[in-house]
């Protein structure tokens, strides 16, 4: 039984989505996370255990990405493999037999249309067991405030690529903190540094998806 | 269309221009506004950027068309104006450059990923065709496909450019230093791998842009030069890594700090040198001064 879970974990780490997927080349023709999850559920395995295996696989690929051993394509494929699992697990989230670690609201700040970094963090967070609300790009402060109003227990992630929109990021942090001082805010993006994040008043700075998940882990509600 | 490759044979080293994006923001472009729309709505301000670099002594200037692909313009509901906005961009830079100086049509990444199925190869190719046609009709000498990280996207852009007879193609990638000290694009492409693939695709001039300042560019250029001994290399380096302080972002490397690094870049094998984010006409003046010693 646990062999199946190990296989699922490996498919996430390697980005093996399904049998027809040509990626990665050395796993061509083998079952992917899609088929294996289906088999696991049909054989009566606990969906929470399946999710945990996925989280482990995601952690491994996230750490490799942090160490620059793999790059954006490998992480994207892992996220794709994760999505296939989540499609099967969705009903169990709805009934409450599987619980997310918490809510993570993420968006690229006003004036900035870049979404690759934000998407990576969003996908890795979801793959690590968080309920992610992705608000997209060019997100005005008011949209963050509205979302927080409806999800008062969320953690907020802000992304920016342009140096010019880092100023909008700082404003967004300030507006959120003014209305909701208890909301934790994580910031990230190419022009940012830990120092800049602190000056803005953010609670955390993530230089890559894995460090974003490490920040989130401090507020894990499922454990 | 004039040949930059030919001009390099005579002059050895050419000087390109500095930043456009950060310059336009200083001129009043708000975050969230479409920079390429300024080619129509704020023509004088865009012309001022182009003119500043010509006045600083640049041999080549770019165009305000970095985000001029239909995929990028779509965010502003301007995709159907791709041809018009790119043509206007080229006309503005040509007005500043006159007949003697070179105009490079800037083509940046589309921001959509082939491998995730967000866009098809045909759509990307067709988009590049429209953008490059606009730039050509506006009077560019060469196209400059820049800030690339994905080989397949860059190869499609080169393919679209090569369909136009006589158009020289420049292609530059953006590299970051990894923990092991190597350089890779965010898609995992090393300078050596890029060099081989991009020359094979038909690029006439290759190189690197953006990144973390002039120091790292010296190392990147060496790697490209070691892979190919002949291909002309273009560098557009950032003025250091951005620093955030007191609500504003600055690029810290001053023209004075940058100057001594220019000869190192040339020794490493660079043939065309200019700036990217945060560089100003002051940086270009300083590069012109350094380069004059090699002519």
Same domain, A141 and A212: yes
**Which residues of B are less than 8 Å from A191 in CB distance?**
242, 244, 249
Q: How confident is the model at residue B149 (pLDDT cuts 50, 70, 90)?
A: very high
Q: What is the CA radius of gyration of chain A?
A: 18
Tell me, yes or no, whether A143 lies in a domain: yes
Note whether B249 contacts A166, CB cutoff 8 Å: yes
Query: Where among A69, A95, A121 does a domain terminate?
Result: A95
Q: What span, in angstroms and rounded, lies between the C-alpha atoms of A72 and A118?
A: 12
Q: Is the per-residue pLDDT at B250 higher than 70? A: yes
Q: Read off the pLDDT of each residue in B113-142 and give the average, rounded to a whole number.
A: 95
Q: Chain B: nearest CA to A213, how far in angstroms?
A: 20
Q: Read off the pLDDT of each residue in A67-90 and give the average, rounded to a whole number.
A: 95
Q: What span, in angstroms and rounded, lies between the C-alpha atoms of A215 and A130?
A: 12
Q: What span, in angstroms and rounded, lies between the C-alpha atoms of A40 and A51?
A: 11
Tell me, yes or no, whether A125 lies in a domain: yes
Q: Which residues of A touch B (CB under 8 A)?
A: 67-68, 70-74, 76-77, 80, 110-116, 137-138, 162-168, 170, 191-193, 195-196, 199-200
Tell me, yes or no, whether A204 lies in a domain: yes
Q: What span, in angstroms and rounded, lies between the C-alpha atoms of A32 and B116?
A: 17
pLDDT digits (tens, 9 = 90+) for A16-59: 999 999 899 999 999 999 999 999 999 999 999 999 999 999 99
Q: Is the per-residue pLDDT at B100 higher than 90? A: yes
Q: What span, in angstroms and rounded, lies between the C-alpha atoms of A166 and B25?
A: 13
State which H helix or E strand residue B169 sits in. strand B168-173
Q: What is the model's pLDDT at position B170? A: 98
When CB atoms are compared, the residue of B22, B179, B251 closest to A68 is B179
Q: What span, in angstroms and rounded, lies between the C-alpha atoms of A174 and B122?
A: 44
Q: Identify whether the C-beta of residue B4 lies closer than 8 Å to the C-beta of residue B205.
A: yes
Terminal-to-terminal C-alpha distance of chain B? 24
β-bridge mates for residue B152, sequence order: none
Same domain, A86 and A119: no
Angle at A155 between CA A152 and CA A158, to 5 degrees: 120
Q: Is the per-residue pLDDT at A222 higher than 80? A: no
**Which residues of A are less than 8 Å from B72 in CB distance?**
113
pLDDT digits (tens, 9 = 90+) for B34-67: 999 999 999 999 999 999 999 999 999 999 999 9
Q: What is the model's pLDDT at position B51? A: 98
Same domain, A162 and A187: yes
Note whether B244 contacts A110, CB cutoff 8 Å: no
Question: Counting Cβ atoms within 10 Å, is residue B270 exposed (0-12), middle (13-18) or buried (19+)?
Answer: buried
Same domain, A156 and A90: no
Same domain, A114 and A137: yes
pTM of the model: 0.93
Same domain, A165 and A189: yes
Query: Where among A42, A77, A95 does a domain terminate?
Result: A95
Same domain, A26 and A109: no
A163: nearest CA partner in chain B? B249
Which CATH number does B4-294 carry? 3.20.20.330
Using CA atoms, how far residue B242 sits from A168, B246, B278, in Å, is 16, 13, 8
Q: What is the model's pLDDT at position B245? A: 73
Q: What is the model's pLDDT at position B206? A: 98
pLDDT digits (tens, 9 = 90+) for B126-137: 999 999 999 999
Looking up tokens 């082939």 gives B114
Query: Where among A95, A129, A149 does a domain terminate?
Result: A95
Q: Is the per-residue pLDDT at B115 higher than 90? A: no
Tell me, yes or no, whether A182 lies in a domain: yes
Note whether A162 contacts B72, CB cutoff 8 Å: no
Same domain, A125 and A197: yes
**Which residues of B are less than 8 Å from A167 in CB distance?**
31, 247-249
- What are the structure tokens assigned to A43, written together? 């054989």
pLDDT digits (tens, 9 = 90+) for B84-94: 999 999 999 99
Same domain, A140 and A201: yes
Tell me, yes or no, whether A223 lies in a domain: no
Q: What is the model's pLDDT at position A223? A: 61
Which residue range is the domain that position A112 belongs to?
Answer: 103-217
Q: What is the model's pLDDT at position B204? A: 98
Q: Identify whether the C-beta of residue B290 lies closer than 8 Å to the C-beta of residue B242.
A: no
Note whether A73 contacts B180, CB cutoff 8 Å: no
Same domain, A14 and A107: no
Give how many domains chain A has, as a whole number.
2
Q: What is the CATH number of the domain that holds A141?
A: 3.40.50.280
Q: What span, in angstroms and rounded, lies between the C-alpha atoms of B63 and B35?
A: 11
For chain B, give every domain's residue range: 4-294
Q: How confident is the model at residue A153 (pLDDT cuts 50, 70, 90)?
A: very high
SS (H, E, C) chain A: CHHHHHHHHHHHHHCCCCCCCCCCHHHCCCCCHHHHHHHHHHCCCCHHHHHHHHHHHHHHHHHHHHCCCCCHHHHHHHHHHHHHHHHHHHHHHHHCCCCCCCEEEEEEECCCCCCHHHHHHHHHHHHCCCEEEECCCCECHHHHHHHHHHCCCCEEEEECCCCCCHHHHHHHHHHHHHHCCCCCEEEECCCCCHHHHHHHCCCEECCCHHHHHHHHHCCCCCC
**Residue A178: CB partners within 8 Å, gap ≥ 6?**
none
Q: What is the model's pLDDT at position A1? A: 56
Tell me, yes or no, whether A157 lies in a domain: yes
Same domain, A212 and A124: yes
- Nearest alpha carbon to residue B216 among B249, B238, B197: B238
- Whether ipTM > 0.95 holds is no
pLDDT digits (tens, 9 = 90+) for A119-134: 999 999 999 999 999 9
Phi, psi angle pair for B222, to nearest 5°: -60, -45
Using CA atoms, how far residue B113 sits from B100, B119, B212, in Å, is 38, 7, 24
Tell me, yes or no, whether A222 lies in a domain: no
Q: What is the CATH number of the domain that holds A91?
A: 1.10.1240.10
Tell me, yes or no, whether A152 lies in a domain: yes
Q: What is the model's pLDDT at position A2? A: 86
Other beta carbons less than 10 A from residue A149's beta carbon: 10
**Which residues of A are less than 8 Å from B21 in CB distance?**
162, 164
Same domain, A73 and A179: no
């Amino acid at each position: 039984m646990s062999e199946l879970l190990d296989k699922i974990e490996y498919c996430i780490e390697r980005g093996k989505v399904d049998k027809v997927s040509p990626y990665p080349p050395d796993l061509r023709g083998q079952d992917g996370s899609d088929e294996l999850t289906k088999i696991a559920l049909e054989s009566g395995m606990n969906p929470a255990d399946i999710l945990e295996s996925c989280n482990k696989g995601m952690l491994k690929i996230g750490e490799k990405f942090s160490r620059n051993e793999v790059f954006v394509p490998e992480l994207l494929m892992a996220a794709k493999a994760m999505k296939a699992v989540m499609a099967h697990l969705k009903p169990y989230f709805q009934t409450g037999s599987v619980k997310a670690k918490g809510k993570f609201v993420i968006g690229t700040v006003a004036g900035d249309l870049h979404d690759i970094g934000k998407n990576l963090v969003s996908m890795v967070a979801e793959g690590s067991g968080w309920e992610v609300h992705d608000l997209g790009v060019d997100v005005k402060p008011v949209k963050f405030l509205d979302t927080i109003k409806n999800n008062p227990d969320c953690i907020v992630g802000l992304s920016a690529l342009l140096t010019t929109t880092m100023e909008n990021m700082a404003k967004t942090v300030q507006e959120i903190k003014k209305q909701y001082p208890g909301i934790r805010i994580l910031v990230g993006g190419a022009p940012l540094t830990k120092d800049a994040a602190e000056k803005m008043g953010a609670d955390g700075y993530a230089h890559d998806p894995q460090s974003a998940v490490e920040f989130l882990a401090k507020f894990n509600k499922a454990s | 269309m004039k040949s930059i490759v030919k001009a390099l044979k005579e002059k050895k080293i050419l000087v390109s221009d500095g930043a456009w994006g950060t310059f336009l923001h200083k001129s009043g472009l708000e975050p969230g506004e479409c920079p390429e729309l300024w080619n129509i709505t704020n023509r004088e301000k865009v012309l001022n950027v182009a003119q500043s670099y010509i006045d600083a002594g640049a041999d080549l200037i770019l165009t305000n068309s970095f985000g001029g692909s239909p995929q990028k313009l779509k965010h502003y509901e301007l995709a159907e104006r791709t041809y018009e906005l790119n043509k206007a961009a080229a006309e503005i830079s040509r007005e500043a450059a006159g007949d003697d100086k070179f105009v490079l049509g800037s083509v940046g990444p589309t921001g959509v990923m082939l491998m995730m199925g967000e866009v098809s190869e045909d759509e990307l190719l067709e988009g590049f065709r429209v953008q490059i046609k606009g730039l050509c009709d506006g009077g560019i000498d060469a196209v400059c496909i820049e800030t690339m990280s994905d080989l397949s996207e860059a190869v499609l852009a080169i393919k679209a450019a090569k369909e136009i007879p006589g158009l020289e193609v420049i292609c530059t990638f953006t590299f970051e230093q990894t923990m092991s000290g190597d350089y890779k694009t965010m898609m995992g492409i090393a300078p050596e791998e890029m060099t081989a693939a991009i020359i094979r695709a038909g690029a006439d001039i290759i190189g690197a842009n953006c990144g973390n300042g002039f120091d790292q560019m010296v190392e990147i250029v060496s790697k490209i030069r070691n892979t190919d001994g002949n291909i002309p290399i273009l560098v557009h380096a950032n003025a250091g890594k951005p620093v955030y302080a007191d609500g504003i972002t600055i690029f810290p490397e001053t023209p004075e700090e940058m100057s001594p690094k220019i000869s190192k870049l040339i020794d490493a094998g660079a043939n065309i040198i200019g700036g990217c984010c945060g560089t100003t006409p002051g940086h270009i003046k300083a590069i012109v001064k350094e380069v004059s010693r090699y002519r």
